[in-house]
Structures are given as C-alpha cells and as structure tokens.
Amino acid sequence: MSQPLARHVPVLFEVALDFLSVRPDGTYVDCTLGLAGHAEGIVRRMGPAGSLIGFDRDPEALDLAKVRLDRVCEELGSQAPRVVLIGEAFSRIAGHVEPASIDGLLADFGVSSLQFDQASRGFSFQADGPVDMRMDTRTGPTAGQVVNEMSERELANLIYEYGEERRSRTVARAIVRGRPVTSTAQLARIVASAVPPMKHIHPATRTFQALRIFVNQELDEIRALLEAAAKLLKPSARLVIISFHSLEDRIAKDSLREGARQGIWNVLTRKPVTAGEDETERNPRSRSAKLRAAERQ
Ligand SMILES: C[S@@+](CC[C@H](N)C(=O)[O-])C[C@H]1O[C@@H](n2cnc3c(N)ncnc32)[C@H](O)[C@@H]1O
C-alpha cells in the first residue's frame, strides 16, 4: 500500500456508515472520496447489484481513490458493486445523478491528510511550500494570487468572514506590507507577527482557513450540494454530513432544520455526533469533526 493510503484514517467511520445504513443493492454517493476510506467501507457493505458513485475535484485524490477501490473490487471479485468515479466538484452532482435515484449520500468536507500533509499543496502553515491551497489544481486562482493581488479591504473582509478572525484588518495590513508573499512559511510569519500568540491554536490558523475556504468556494459548494441532495435522494434515503468548522456545520444545521420544517428531511441527529476519546487520541483531526444525518421524507 502506498504511503498516503496507509496513513489515512477516515473520521467517524463506523457511525457514518451506520447512519448511511448501506443496503447491498443500493446506490450510494460519496461526494468527497479523498483517500477512499469511507468509500471502501461502503463498497464492502454492498453486493454486485449495488453502485457507488464517488466525487473528488482533486485529480491526485481521485487517482489514489481509484487505486484503492480497484484493489477492493478485485478482492471482492464477482461480489463487487459497480463503482463510478467522477473528477468534478460535488456541486455538479445533478449533472451525473438522476433525481430520486440515490439511497444514501455521504460528504466528509474539508481537506484530506494527503492535501494537508504535502507542503507542495500549500495548505499548511507548518510546512513550507507555495501558497496554493487549491483542491482542484486544474483551475482557479491560488491563495498566492489572492494574498498578492486583492485589495487590503477585500482581504480583511475575506479573513473576517471565512476565518472569523477578529483582527482581520491588522492581518490584511501586515500581508499587504509583506508582499510579495511567496511561501506558506512566510505567510504564517507575517500573520503571527500581526496577532498576539494564542493558547490552543497557531495564530495563522484562521487566516489559512479563510484563504482555503475562499479559494475553493467551499461554503457555496456545500449550499449547492445540500440543495441538490433533497432532489436526488429517494424517499427514506440517508444523508450524512461531516464538517470540521463552525461555518460548515452552521450551513448543514440550518439547511436540515429548514428542510425538516418543509417536510423534506427527518433529522436523525438532534445534536451533532462527535468523535469519542479513543478516536481523538488515535486521530487528532477527528477532534473538530461533527456529523449530522437525516432521512429523506
Ligand atoms: C476530508 S477528505 C475526505 C476523506 C474521505 N472521506 C476518506 O475517507 O478518505 C475531503 C476530500 O473531498 C474533496 N473535496 C472537498 N470539497 C469538494 C468539492 N466541493 N467537490 C469535490 N470534492 C471535494 C477534497 O479534495 C478531499 O479530497
């Protein structure tokens, strides 16, 4: 097994699959394949009449997911379900899936360990790399273009809105003064010099989060997915959403609550499910995970 696949630990694995309630002959969508940890679990619960449709807009992740799922299907032989992988943003799901045709949909938002741990992808302030942060490396502006070209005011608004950083104006001023910003280590130093040290997180955490959300249009993607999901799921089909920060979780919570009011969703998680102590010890990334599940009415 290659290194990234070996290292990867899917978050809230059992609980996510339990809520999906996988039927051997069902059709399931994993919107965020990543390294296919959850997808492998789904495939192993299905039979030859089942289908998995997987999305990831990161071409590298899609290739690795394919390697893993091909291997699992080979092992399952004639019992393997049909697997279709699509290298596009999940907001485009309606172009690939028929209305009311899905038995379950899983989305595990955010960055994968593959993306975060590779300095060259530019997601991490702990490793020095180019300021990139694009999940889909084929399109769109990089975070470097954003920090070097955006006006100070726009940058401040972005850091405030997507990073919930109270000192966004100070941070934006420091970034503009520090231009050109050419590496993640430089960007982290600039931000750290502009805000006081924090107890539990690196001072650049919020700014990096804001840039990543903006570059990948993450919140619009989630809104589009949740809207489409209501049309694509069959009655009684399951929706399982795992988010990693309050902006994502708020969208999921509000959308499910509003859907419940309109008779679209029956919400199965009154409060979000979080990882237990065992899991957070094994996988620190799971600490901030929140899972919400709903059934299509
Ligand atoms: C947290 S990882 C998923 C990990 C996966 N559940 C596993 O078990 O390996 C999130 C993945 O979703 C992808 N992703 C995030 N937003 C996306 C979007 N809007 N459209 C398609 N893929 C997206 C990322 O590229 C990343 O590979």
Mutation pick for ligand 1 pocket among 12, 112, 220 (CB with most ligand atoms within 8 Å): 112
Task: Decide if 58 contacts 135 (C-beta within 8 A).
Answer: yes
Q: How many other CB atoms are found less than 10 A from the CB of residue 63?
A: 13
CB-neighbour burial class of residue 72 (10 A; exposed 0-12, middle 13-18, buried 19+): middle
Residues 6 or more apart whose CB falls under 8 angstroms from that of 12 comprise: 242, 273, 275, 279, 286, 289, 291
Element (DSSP H or E) covering residue 243: strand 233-243
The pTM of the full predicted model, rounded to 2 decimals, is: 0.96
Tokens 């899609």 label which residue? Answer: 62
Element (DSSP H or E) covering residue 242: strand 233-243
- Tell me the helices (H) and strands (E) count for the chain, helix number first: 13, 7
**Ligand 1: which residues within 6 Å by Cβ?**
8, 10, 32, 34-38, 55-58, 61, 89-91, 108, 110, 112, 135, 221
Closest Cα to atom 8 of ligand 1: 37
Element (DSSP H or E) covering residue 54: strand 51-55
**DSSP class of 21:** T
Element (DSSP H or E) covering residue 170: helix 168-178
| Alpha carbon of 153 to ligand 1 centroid (Å) | 31
Task: Decide if 28 contacts 42 (C-beta within 8 A).
Answer: yes
pLDDT tens for each residue of the chain, 297 residues long: 445 554 567 999 999 999 999 999 999 999 999 999 999 999 999 999 999 999 999 999 999 999 999 999 999 999 999 999 999 999 999 999 999 999 999 999 989 999 999 999 999 999 999 999 999 999 999 999 999 999 999 999 999 999 999 999 999 999 999 999 999 999 999 999 999 988 888 999 999 999 999 999 999 999 999 999 999 999 999 999 999 999 999 999 999 999 999 999 999 999 999 999 999 999 988 999 999 999 999
CA 137 to chain centre: 16
